[in-house]
Amino acid sequence: MKRIYELSVRAEFCAAHRLIGYPGDCRNTHGHNWDVTAYVLCEELDELGMGLDFREIKKLVREALATLDHACLNDLAPFAEQNPTAENIARHLHETLSASLAACPAAKGPGGRARISRVRVAETPGAEVTYWEEP
């Protein structure tokens, strides 16, 4: 039987955005307290019995969110040619966290011990998107 562990870390950031071409109020610059959950899949445990130390995941998430926090997302390079929708933010964070985790020595193991499985982004309570890539 294959054993899989999914770890998650939740964090928040504050940022403004506007949706260019949107027919409603969201076309105007406005802000959100974005809620983000990053999920990490592990198929192996280390010698301590952990898939990946939560501290390591929190560090990677904090670093990824630091580039977005208290910014106007439309002004950032990842959103220069696309609206900073919750969907696009979730994909951006998935890509950023995947690259960071791949470079993280603690996530290494035979065949790679951990990977980002999905990222959930909520712009308001009850309005969220989850992004993942099929392996």
* Domain boundaries, given as residue ranges, for the chain: 5-13+41-131
Taking CB atoms within 8 Å and a gap of at least 24, the contacts of 48-51 are 51/5, 51/7, 51/113, 51/114
28-41 residue pLDDT tens: 999 999 999 999 99
Residue 105 confidence (pLDDT): 84
Residue 112 confidence (pLDDT): 56
Which of 11-20, 66-75, 96-105, 107-116 is predicted with the least confidence, judged by mean pLDDT?
Answer: 107-116
Percent of the chain with pLDDT over 70: 97
Predicted confidence band at 83 (pLDDT cuts at 50, 70, 90)?
Answer: very high
Topology adopted by domain 5-13+41-131: Tetrahydropterin Synthase; Chain A (3.30.479)
Strands 114-124 and 30-42: antiparallel
The length of the chain, given as a count of residues? 135
Q: Give the C-alpha distances (Å, rounded to integers) separating 25 from 6, 19, 22, 64, 66.
A: 37, 9, 8, 28, 27
β partners of residue 12? 35
39-53 residue pLDDT tens: 999 988 888 888 999
